[in-house]
Amino acid sequence: MENLDLGTWNNFKKNLEEAFSPFDAPGEAREKLKRLQKEGKTPMNEHITMFKTLVAQAKIGKDEEALCDLFLETLPRKLQERLLTLQFPLEGIKDNYKWAQKFDHQFHRMQRIMGKTKQKESSNNWRKNKQKTEQKKEQKNDQKKPDNTSRRFTFTRKDLNTMDID
């Protein structure tokens, strides 16, 4: 049996990645990074994971300032403002991740709390609206009913022996 030289593990791995990766994987990842925006209900940890994945695929270097700026651009405007107006400067990308998660968590918590009070208010409003609708219906019914005291009824006498012809 003849010995086959398959090369080193690193060469095999590199050849495999080249064979099955898209033509311009880093370019596509950079494009996705440009379009990446945190959606309202997407948890921050998922957004950070997506950001880290795209940064790795785009083969962007370890320049902390560039990564921080790029990360901030993917966040909603109000969250950017909160991060940039902290009393102390953020130290690197990990600090950005940590504070973005804290503020996002606080925001969603506030939304849940406010949503509960809005539900209570809306249920109270629903009851008030239902009462108003019932009152309007009663008013309409009262308006439709004619005043029976001034109404006169007249009857004509008819010969019972005659036949009606239509």
Q: What region does 162 belong to: left with phi over 0, alpha with psi -120 to 50, or beta?
A: beta
- Cβ 37 vs Cβ 19: under 8 Å: no
Of the pLDDT bands very low, low, confident and very high (cuts 50, 70, 90), residue 90 is confident
Q: Does pTM surpass 0.75?
A: no
Give 70: exposed, middle or buried? Use CB within 10 Å, 0-12, 13-18, 19+.
buried
Which amino acid type is present at position 82? R
pLDDT tens-digit series, residues 111-159: 888 886 555 555 566 677 777 888 777 777 666 655 556 666 676 777 7
Helices 92-144 and 64-73: angle between axes, nearest 10 degrees: 10
The domain ranges of the chain are 9-107
Separation of alpha carbons 26 and 13, rounded Å: 18
**Res. 55: pLDDT tops 80:** yes
**Res. 59: pLDDT tops 90:** no
Residues 6+ apart with CB under 8 A from 26: 57, 58, 59
